[in-house]
Structure 1
Amino acid sequence: MGGLVPGVERIAVLRANAIGDFLLSVPALDALRSAYPDAKLTLLGLPWHAGFLEGRPGPVDEVVALPPITGVSTSEGGHPVPGGLCEGLRERAFDLAVQIHGGGRYSNPFVRRLGARVTAGLRTPDADELDRWVPYVDHHHESLRFLEVAALVGGRAGDRAGGLEPRVAVTGRDREELAAAFGAPPPGLVAVHPGARDPRRRWPVERFAAVADRLGRPVVVTGSAAERDLVEGVVAAMHRPAVAVAGTLGLGALAALYERCDLVIGNDTGPRHLAAAVGTPTVAVYWCVNLVSYGPLTRTRHRPLISWTTGCPVCGADGVDPRGERCPHDVSWVRDVPVDDVLEQAGDLLEETRIAEGATRRLRG
């Protein structure tokens, strides 16, 4: 653990990627905010960060949306740092620049060009050093990794209410957007999210449908516009009615919808993190390797079901070595997780919610 940097008035934090990746960094952002309560914290992110975080209570004061930069704000090649960008950011006179973006091969040179008095972050052996750094190693939980970086400059884990799990506030604007696009969610609603960016992390749609049918609850199936086939596939496979919501809700409205649910069931994906961050219990299917880096850190309200498949079901290619070649097959690596196991955890969490709601009603009555 490092000491506080004296005289910090402006902090830049680089974290320019997707919603789940951002949410995993929130405990570290909270730790930085607690360590430097009077400093202005600027997130160097993407345009969606700016829209989602505007007016939302939390540790971030402002967002600078970066253009595509290879290794910094996009994984695509051929996007150098635009001329004048770093010079413009230097004019903000950051006292502290923190890299919680990755191993640092591309991001550390970018952070050093910001001209901050002190830089801190992650580093693989082939990356430039920052003033304070911790090694970036495989198979480490992302939230804990970023908290190690915050600790380099005096940030402490769990200073805020809620501890190690990320929290995100739902705003009145979110709820208004939900009402306009969806209406009033019914009591006892359960959300099912069958999508995941990597098709190998997707539990089969017919198994989501089987769980949703057997819960006997009102069900909404969520997904992006690109996941419409998955969403409609779950609804079509169900014997009970369900509402399909594919690409019609922004992130804020989706957060408000999950806030109104008694449970969210899904894969290892950003919406699972979003549901947990707004305080909703979750059940999710995880591939064993991804659970280490992206799984929930607590089990009271979040239950991961784990697939122990370590090789491609088609060709047997090893999936554990992060330096190995990815085989071309996109079949599910998590289909071995049984329906009954997911149903058992879902029922357990719903029963706990029912008991807690009953106790609350008795106290109010």
Structure 2
Amino acid sequence: MSEFRMPSLGADMEAGTLVEWKVAPGDRVRRGDIVAVVETQKGAIDIEIFEDGVVQDLVVAPGSSVPVGALLARLEGEAGMPAAAPAPAAPIVPKPVAAPAPVPPAALPPAPQQEGRVRATPVARRRAAALGIGLEALRGTGVAGAICLADLPAEAPPRRGGFDPVGMRKAIAAAMGRSKREIPHYYLTQAVDLAPALERLERMNAGRAPPERLLPAAMMLRAAALAVAEAPDLNGFWEADGFRPGDGVHVGWAVALRGGGLVAPAIRHADRMPLDALMAAMRDLVARARGGGLRGSELTDATITVTSLGDRGAETVLPIIHPPQVAILGFGRVVERPWVVGGAVVPRRVATLTLAGDHRASDGHRGGLLLARIEALLQKPEEL
């Protein structure tokens, strides 16, 4: 028997409200499955399970406020699970057949019981739990009268609330106050000529539809991720026993929320992603951060954070490290400045790059090498 507890979704979280369960007792779960939705100051977050097992009982009812670390559910481990049916080597595509005439609902028998439980497909059972519908009230049209997905209502009632801007601001202030008290920050800034990178970006975007175009932020993030991969002492966490390096370059991308506040969900292995894939991942995170649907792991996996102020921001940002990370990078707004190229002063598009580092894990020399590497990559954008 194992226990599933309320996870910490960041240094600024003390408790969360369980909005709904996505599973029911008796359901089999696999690592990475979404099992619950928790409301925090950052909005409704999908919570994943991190082990395989069978749900034995749900300890907390929806609507309850639960402290971080409190018991949510109990699971039986793999040893007590029935053997899973082997997955087919390739999907089987059935031949098209004429659809049978629909059976009037009144002619369908109540959903059959099997060992005290209503017979239903796993996906239907999960969907019913998400909708808060009792299976006993439904009639099944599947094999042997089992309830299938088509037997459930097509639309779910609204479940996700917006984030609490006042609560989020308090949480951010608490986390940043802790950061400034506990982390000995050092700051470095570097002006970077972005003309080569932006010119390549314009060439890549030629002929693309607006939704498919790459933004300058994607190229900046790509350069940062590649450089951080070469600086493991700036990519990880400071814990009670000292520095723990990250298991990959999982960049937390800072997203400003409508109405105030921000979150920085992680793009896992950002250094391995080509520009188009990275741009797609950034758009996806922004959409889900503002509309709901972030996963708990995305709020806890980041090994370093990158923030970009965009074309409407300030020229320079002095970011605060998000504990337990040990570094954060910031890109200011791109501006046109006089720049010396080949002995002549010419107008160039320039951005100020800033690093905030944790002096317990690194120093200014190491941080300076990181900024120099990012600048070098942006000068040779064909390598990005």
Structure 1 length as normaliser, TM-score? 0.27
For the pair shown, the structure with the greater C-alpha radius of gyration is 2
Higher strand share: 2
Higher helix share: 1
